[in-house]
Amino acid sequence: MVGKVNLKIVVEFFESGGNYFIVIENEKYKSPYSEYAILKKLLNEKNHYFTIEDLMLIGWPDRVVSVNSVPVAITNLRKIFKHHTAQKVILNTQNLGYIIGADSDVKIANSSLLTDAVAKEKIRIPVNRINQALDISLKLPLLIINIVFLAYILIAKTSLYTMKDQIYDISHTQSAVIISPKGTHVKNFFDSITSKSTLNIDELTPYLTDVSTSGKSILFVSKYRQKIIIDCIRGNQLDSLYGDHVDKILSELKAIGCKL
């Protein structure tokens, strides 16, 4: 039987950041969800017996636990109440189950009453847990993957478009000599170079078109692995030469009519 009491001990329940708290007379106890849910149920439905099986479903709705888990949870709850009252708040009657009597000196705060909305919240609690698990196990790695992937693309693009120089040396003689890259010593092959200017790729096309229409030859001179590459353009004619035999290449250029 539940003893009579004069003063009611108010119990409040709240959840914060995935943690569950039982507050008794302004004393806050952090507790597992199972103890929180069992006590809340017992207080909400005072004078009603709950079997171990009932309480297992209430305390651990999303997993299977040992039948000993319920007595352990009840023991922990009783320990809490010992700090506040000499009365045995949670009673156990053989073959009937656990109960908090209607005349118990413990009552639930109005704010913690199990209304329909709160009942829904209770149902959502496991969902919250899943969300928390997702936060940790899925969202964070996803965020990291997103950031790493984006950074990789940006870095790859940056390195792709910051390559070397884009400068061309232009000399005005009978022909336009475009030497790439800038400063390569192959320009020494051309004695008649008299002036030099630098054009970027956007300026190059109109310049070369003007040179070509004025009847000049256009020479592209490059050096690659100790050999030179020369392309000579005269009107629509293209001649390409390659090698390390410079004298032979220059005489060939003259022979084909490339103006040097």
Identified binder of another protein from the candidate list 126, 166, 187, 259, rule CB under 8 A:
166
The yes or no reply on residue 240 touching another protein (CB under 8 A) is yes
Give burial (CB, 10 Å; 0-12/13-18/19+) of 15. middle
The yes or no reply on residue 244 touching another protein (CB under 8 A) is yes
Comparison of 13 and 168: residue with beta carbon closer to another protein: 168
Print the binding letters for residues 211-230 with another protein: x by CB under 8 A, - otherwise. -xx----x-xxxxx--x-x-
The yes or no reply on residue 54 touching another protein (CB under 8 A) is no
CB of 35 within 8 A of CB of 25?
A: no
Which of these ranges, 58-66, 85-93, 109-117, 202-210, lies near another protein under the rule CB under 8 A? 202-210
Task: Report CA-CA distances (Å) from 180 to 164, 228, 260.
Answer: 11, 11, 17
Comparison of 77 and 218: residue with beta carbon closer to another protein: 218
Q: Residue 186 has which token pair?
A: 């192959």
Report d(CA 89, CA 3) in Å as an integer: 9
CB of 185 to another protein, least distance (A): 13
Per CB under 8 A, which of residues 71..130 are in contact with another protein? none
Identified binder of another protein from the candidate list 22, 43, 99, 233, rule CB under 8 A:
233
Report d(CA 62, CA 128) in Å as an integer: 12
Phi, psi of 229, rounded to the nearest 5 degrees: -120, 120
The residue written with tokens 């078109």 in the block is 209
Report d(CA 59, CA 51) in Å as an integer: 12
Comparison of 166 and 173: residue with beta carbon closer to another protein: 166
DSSP secondary structure, 89-152, as one string: -SEEETTTEEE--TT-SEEE-GGG---HHHHHHHHHHHHHHHHHHHIIIIIHHHHHHHHHHHHH
The yes or no reply on residue 204 touching another protein (CB under 8 A) is yes
Residues in the chain: 260
Comparison of 51 and 149: residue with beta carbon closer to another protein: 149
Identified binder of another protein from the candidate list 119, 130, 142, 155, rule CB under 8 A:
142
Contacts with another protein: how many residues (CB under 8 A)? Answer: 50
The distance of Cα 137 from the centroid of its chain, to the nearest Å, equals 12
The yes or no reply on residue 147 touching another protein (CB under 8 A) is yes
- Residues of this chain that interact with another protein (CB under 8 A) are 135, 139-140, 142-143, 146-147, 149-150, 153-154, 160-161, 163-164, 166, 178, 180-181, 201, 204-205, 208-209, 212-213, 218, 220-224, 227, 229, 231, 233, 235-245, 248-249, 252
